[in-house]
Every structure is written in structure tokens, then in C-alpha cells.
Structure 1
Amino acid sequence: MKEILVLYYSHKGSVRALAEEVAHGVHQVPGAVARVRTVPRVSTVCEALEDSIPADGPPYAEAADLEECAGLVLGSPTRFGNMAAPMKYFLDGTIAGWVNGALSGKPAGVFTSSSSMHGGQESTLLSMMLPLLHHGALIVGLPYQESDLATTRSGGTPYGASHVAGSDGDPALTDAERRLAQALGRRVAETAVRLVEVR
């Protein structure tokens, strides 16, 4: 089985809800399974604030997760058009994986959530692609063959899956957001399985 790392940080639950749908999409691909991981909160001086094992939900990501995965789907809430500090802090600590090529040639996608439709989702998705490109990952997006992209009244972009949570941070996904998140998981998993087969 090819493991696809679904790695996310979630503050109010919206990104976690997307991550669960991405993982569901991964599991729809024969020969693929999702490895779901998260990252801890950080303080204003960029130190991890959580215990080494989370109280609930998936375990915290480690360097080995990047090395062992066949593909990666990365998620973060939007913070002023950029990824949240906990995800950036984790990625900033992946220098050894960059040197060793842990993600080189592996497919990767991104997803996010914001409180408003114009809250910087697309720039956040692009910001998460930058370290992935430096790692040598192969970026996978959502094509307009996914009909929900043309009809959604909430989240969803060609750059990756997204959710509009509203000012109250509602993590309940729309049907279109759910389908697009699953499609992203499927596309990364299908690409990973095919790449491993040809190698």
C-alpha cells in the first residue's frame, strides 16, 4: 500500500474536516492509504506549545512521515493570505528532508479554510506550494473537469480544496467542498500509485 501523508494544522476544526475528506478520497484509490498527521500550536516565540502526544486526533508529524510517504496533501487555515505559523514552523524544520530529497518527485496537493470568500484562500494555497516546490514535489491541483469548481458558492479552487467557514468558524463543509476535498485526495493518491508503478 502506498501511504499518502495528509498533514494539517487546524485551529477551529475546518481544516481538520477538510483533511478527513481528503483522506477519504485517498482511501478510494486502490493501493493507497492515508496517513493523517497534524502539527502542534506554537507560541509567539515559535516554540511548540503542546505535549509530545496530542490529547485527541492524529499524532504529530515527524520527519519520517515525509520520508515514508508516497505523496503529500498539506492543509492550513488562512492567516492574512498565508499559511498559519504552526505549519510554517514545521516546514521550516524540514531542512534535513530537503537535503535528502524526502519529497523529491512525490506528488503533493494543498488545502485551506478561511472565514470569508475573499479571505486569501488562493494566496494561502500558493504559499504552501512554495516549500513543496523547493522540496522537489510535483504539485497536483484540481482541474475544471471537477464540475464543482464552476458551480460552488463556497470553497474550492483549481489550486486546491478549500472551505469558507464564516465569521463563526463553522467547520461544516458544503457538499461541493466535500467532493472537491475528496477529489484532491484521489488525484494525489492516483498520481502517487502511478509514479511508483513506473519506477
Structure 2
Amino acid sequence: MANILVLYYSRDGGTAAMARQIARGIESVAGAEAVLRTVPEVSAVCEKVADSIPDSGAPYATQQDLESCDGLALGSPTHFGNMAAALKYFWDGTTALWFTGALSGKPAGVFTSAGSMHGGQESTLLSMMLPLMHHGMLVMSMPCNEIALRETVSGGTPYGPSRCAESDNGLTEHEKRLCWVLGERLAKTAVAVKSLNA
């Protein structure tokens, strides 16, 4: 079974909704399962230890979750064109995995949610790709022949699914479809890579 980690940070629920759609896409592929994980808030005043279990939603991710995954979907809200501090903080602690090459050769994709049409979605997706590339992951894009990518008038980019939460009416059908496609594509690739390395 290929284990695909869907790792995200979500303050208002938009990115979490995308993560759940990506998980559905992953689990539509035979031989793949989705594992949803999040990261704790970070303090802007001083470093603090979060509770070991969140009040609700997905459990907090550990370095072991990353090490044992066969693929990764990484998601964050857009914060001025960049990933959220909580997610960046988590990645800043992955040096030990970098030294061992634990993520090298594993497929990965990124997704984001922003409050407006021009909220920095594409630069956020690119910022999330950087640590994945440093870890030697196989960064995947959205397929250019996906109709939802051409027809969407809200979220969606070649770099990964995005969401425009301006109206806050939930994910559009195109946004749902693009999340599903990323999950399915990651899962198929992870299953194939895992079988080659078996």
C-alpha cells in the first residue's frame, strides 16, 4: 500500500477542505491510502510547545510521518504570497531527513487557498516547492490537458490546485476537481515508484 501524506496548515478551514478533496482523489487509486496531518500554530512572541493532540481535525505531523510516506501533498493558505509561518517552521526542522535523503525520489505536489483572486496563490505554491526540491522530491504539476484547469474562473494553476475563498461559499466544482486530480496523480505515481523500488 502506498501511503500518501496530505500535510497542511489551515486557520479558517479552506485549506483543510482542499486537503479532504485531495485525500478522496488519492483513495480512488487502488493500492493507495491518504494520511491527513496538520501542524500546530507558532507563536509570534516566543517559541512555545503546542499540545500533543489538536482539539479537532487531523493529528499533528511528525518527522516519522514524512519519513514513512511514499508521496506528499503539501498545502497552506496564502500569507502575502508565501506559505504560512507554521508550515515553514515545520519544514525548518527537517534537516535530519535531508541528511539521510529520506524524501528523495518521492512524488509531491502543492496546494493553497487565498482570500482573493490575486492573493499570491502561484508564488505561495512555488514557495512550498522549494523545500521539496531541496529534499530531492519529484515535484508534480497539474496536467495541462485537465479541462477544469482551463475552465476555472476561481482557483486553479499549473503549479497545483488553488482556491479563491473571497465569497466563502466553499470549494467550486472546478476547485474540487483539481484537488481530486492532484490526489489521483500523486497516488498513481507513488504506487508506480514504490513498485519499481520493491
What is the TM-score when the length of structure 2 is the normalising length? 0.97
CA–CA separation in structure 2 for the residues paired with 1:7 and 1:127: 15
Q: Unpaired runs of 5+ in structure 1?
A: none
CA–CA separation in structure 1 for the residues paired with 2:169 and 2:64: 30
RMSD: 1.2
CA–CA separation in structure 2 for the residues paired with 1:62 and 1:87: 12
- The 3 A distance-change label for structure 1 pair 117 and 63 is same
Q: Give the aligned residue type for 2:174.
A: A
Give the equivalent residue in structure 1 for 2:4: 4
Given the alignment of the two structures, is residue 91 of structure 1 paired with residue 88 of structure 2, yes or no? no
CA–CA separation in structure 1 for the residues paired with 2:20 and 2:137: 22
Q: Could you report, residue by residue, the CA deviation over 1:70-94 in whole angstroms, capped at 9, with x for unpaired residues? A: 0000000001100000000000011
CA–CA separation in structure 1 for the residues paired with 2:125 and 2:47: 24
Q: Give the aligned residue type for 1:55.
A: D
- The 3 A distance-change label for structure 1 pair 53 and 91 is same
Q: Give the aligned residue type for 1:85.
A: A
Secondary structure of 1:72's counterpart equals: strand
CA–CA separation in structure 1 for the residues paired with 2:29 and 2:16: 21
- The 3 A distance-change label for structure 1 pair 33 and 119 is same
Given the alignment of the two structures, is residue 176 of structure 1 paired with residue 165 of structure 2, yes or no? no
- The 3 A distance-change label for structure 1 pair 46 and 23 is farther
CA–CA separation in structure 1 for the residues paired with 2:64 and 2:27: 21
Cα deviation for residue 56 of structure 1 reads 1.0
Q: Could you report, residue by residue, the CA deviation over 1:114-149 in whole angstroms, capped at 9, with x for unpaired residues? A: 011111000000000000000000001101211111
Give the equivalent residue in structure 2 for 1:15: 15
What is the TM-score when the length of structure 1 is the normalising length? 0.96
CA–CA separation in structure 2 for the residues paired with 1:95 and 1:46: 22
Cα deviation for residue 171 of structure 1 reads 6.3
Give the equivalent residue in structure 1 for 2:194: 196
Cα deviation for residue 52 of structure 1 reads 1.2
CA–CA separation in structure 1 for the residues paired with 2:158 and 2:14: 19
Secondary structure of 1:86's counterpart equals: helix
User: What does residue range 42-191 of structure 1 map to in structure 2 within 5 Å?
Assistant: 42-45=42-45, 47-48=47-48, 50-166=50-166, 170=168, 172-191=170-189
- The 3 A distance-change label for structure 1 pair 37 and 172 is same
Figure out how many residues of one structure are paired with residues of the other and give that number. Answer: 197
CA–CA separation in structure 2 for the residues paired with 1:19 and 1:102: 23
Q: Unpaired runs of 5+ in structure 2?
A: none
CA–CA separation in structure 1 for the residues paired with 2:57 and 2:13: 11
